[in-house]
A = this chain, B = another copy of it.
Amino acid sequence: MGNGIDEWIASKEEMLKTWRRELHQIAEVGFCEYETTYYIVQQLAELGFTLHTGQAVMEGDARFGVPSADELAAHEQRARDNGVPADFLAGMSGGFTGVVAVLDTGKAGKHTAMRFDIDALPILEEADAVHLPAKEGFRSRNEGMMHACGHDGHATIGLGIAHFIAERKEELKGTYTLIFQPAEEGSRGANAVVKKGWLDGVDQFLSGHLGIRPNPVGTLYSGSTHILATTKIDASFTGKTAHAGMEPHVGKNALLAASSAVLNLHSIAPHGEGATRLNVGRFEAGSGRNIVPGDAFLQFETRGITTEQNHYMKEEAVRRLEGAALMYDVAIDYAIVGEGLAAETDAYFLEKIPKATASSHYITDVHDRMEVNGSEDVTYMMQHVQEQGGLACYMIFGTPLAAGHHHKRFDWDEGALAVAVSALAHILAHE
């Protein structure tokens, strides 16, 4: 059934590039992908998929780190100004972005789910021509938001494979669920998709990422390991301001409490049974130089090579927040604003994918597994599928990188889009 796949893909290469560049220009941060969702729906409209949007996509309460009502409203206004129809927008109101597209071939067969994350980052994209999107005119039009992690590519791959399924639906069997997931950054959206039931009964789950580490176009990793379990925590210390010269003893110093917390968070002992991580990435505190600071805010994350080891880090971290607050007699309030699990690609795919893709001219070099050493909330989906007896895979699609992920000059080779679609198409065809 693999006949003609590469030829078909070759005919779509211009389309893939167009989708990618249009998506790149409407970069939107997590739970605010209003323009992006509308765009995806437009591209999928005629293909025969049943499209689910709005509150059908995610269980609202299971989302982590949803922006404030004010922020959401501002983003909705922006989307309206940029042409998203009011009634479509109304359906997504409150951060209910994303699309689930389902196609049942009507023939007995596996239920295959695929996930493509669609959110961007709060980064001001490079405007200098040294950066290809700037040079070639497809830099983000949403200033301060940028696809700096390749999710524009992931959504494009999803559109590509959707077209493939639509065109080959006579030959294919079983059911196909394509999840265009909001808010992967910060590990915030996947859990809410799982809780809505979209992964229930899935036999085979396919997902992947562009890049991670630089590789030539044509490189494919059949799976991954060392996706770290992670917890994202926001912590606020609230003390009491006072004049620092006249009555320093009256203050309750939240900035000092937070500084002490930082040092003691970073000195949590590593776990003897596998790698752990902690990073305090943001610190904001105080108002004026001569005022004992009454407030402090930290953003940090823990990670562990397994869910258990991340749990150890989280427990230790929370105790340290509480201890630091006690020291300085300030209140501590913390919230878990994101969480990801550890998960492994099933060994099944390490055998299957090299065989399935052997005939593809796009794929020149297949490796076993990449050590990711980062976090991904796709793990909620992988774990849910595996717990039900299904099989889950997280591939890596090779590409050179102009700069590291999350950098304002991050860019990659659009040739990797055809490789990724080819890989997925060959896997689907190889049943």
Q: Mark A316-338, 1 if CB is under 8 A from B, else 0.
A: 00011011111111000000000
Verify if A314 is at the interface (C-beta below 8 Å from B).
no
Segment of A30-38, A85-93, A129-137, A240-248 in the binding face: A240-248
Interchain nearest-CB distance for A256 vs B (Å):
6
Q: Which of A159-195 contact B (CB under 8 A)?
A: 186
Interchain nearest-CB distance for A32 vs B (Å):
16
Residues of B with C-beta under 8 A to A259: 258-260, 262-263, 283
**Is there contact, CB below 8 Å, between A373 and B283?**
no
Verify if A275 is at the interface (C-beta below 8 Å from B).
yes
Q: Which of A297-312 contact B (CB under 8 A)?
A: 299-301, 303, 312
Verify if A100 is at the interface (C-beta below 8 Å from B).
no
Our pick among B256, B323, B373 for the contact of A246 (Cβ within 8 Å) is B373
What residue in chain B is nearest A320 (Cβ atoms)? B327
Verify if A139 is at the interface (C-beta below 8 Å from B).
no
**Is there contact, CB below 8 Å, between B289 and A282?**
yes
Interchain nearest-CB distance for A13 vs B (Å):
31
Segment of A266-274, A343-351, A416-424 in the binding face: A266-274
Q: Given known contacts A320-B327, A374-B245, is B287 in contact with A281 (CB within 8 Å)?
A: yes
Residues of B with C-beta under 8 A to A228: 245
Q: Which of A399-417 contact B (CB under 8 A)?
A: 404-406
Our pick among B245, B277, B303, B323 for the contact of A303 (Cβ within 8 Å) is B245
Interchain nearest-CB distance for A261 vs B (Å):
8
**Is there contact, CB below 8 Å, between A248 and B323?**
no
Our pick among B263, B264, B270 for the contact of A277 (Cβ within 8 Å) is B270
**Is there contact, CB below 8 Å, between A281 and B270?**
no
**Is there contact, CB below 8 Å, between B282 and A287?**
yes
Our pick among B248, B266, B279, B291 for the contact of A290 (Cβ within 8 Å) is B279
**Is there contact, CB below 8 Å, between A250 and B264?**
no
Our pick among B288, B320, B373 for the contact of A281 (Cβ within 8 Å) is B288
Q: Given known contacts A289-B299, A327-B319, is B284 in contact with A284 (CB within 8 Å)?
A: yes
Interchain nearest-CB distance for A321 vs B (Å):
9
Verify if A251 is at the interface (C-beta below 8 Å from B).
yes
The distance in angstroms between the C-alpha atoms of A326 and B320, with both chains bound, is: 7
Verify if A392 is at the interface (C-beta below 8 Å from B).
no
Residues of B with C-beta under 8 A to A264: 256, 260, 263, 327-328
Q: How many copies does the complex hold?
A: 4
Residues of B with C-beta under 8 A to A255: 262, 280-281, 283
Q: Given known contacts A228-B245, A263-B260, A325-B323, is B251 in contact with A269 (CB within 8 Å)?
A: yes
Verify if A101 is at the interface (C-beta below 8 Å from B).
no
Verify if A236 is at the interface (C-beta below 8 Å from B).
no
Our pick among B230, B279, B293 for the contact of A280 (Cβ within 8 Å) is B293
The distance in angstroms between the C-alpha atoms of A372 and B272, with both chains bound, is: 11
**Is there contact, CB below 8 Å, between A267 and B267?**
yes
**Is there contact, CB below 8 Å, between B406 and A291?**
yes
Verify if A352 is at the interface (C-beta below 8 Å from B).
no
Verify if A253 is at the interface (C-beta below 8 Å from B).
yes
Residues of B with C-beta under 8 A to A326: 319, 322-323, 326
Verify if A232 is at the interface (C-beta below 8 Å from B).
yes
Our pick among B122, B272, B284 for the contact of A373 (Cβ within 8 Å) is B272
**Is there contact, CB below 8 Å, between A263 and B269?**
no
Chain A interface residues toward B at CB < 8 A: 121-122, 186, 228, 230, 232, 243-251, 253, 255-256, 258-260, 262-264, 266-267, 269-273, 275-277, 279-293, 296, 299-301, 303, 312, 319-320, 322-329, 372-375, 404-406
Q: List 22 A-B contacts (CB under 8 A).
A: A243-B404, A243-B406, A245-B303, A248-B279, A249-B269, A249-B272, A256-B263, A256-B266, A266-B266, A266-B269, A270-B275, A275-B275, A279-B291, A281-B287, A281-B291, A282-B289, A283-B286, A288-B406, A290-B374, A291-B406, A319-B327, A323-B323
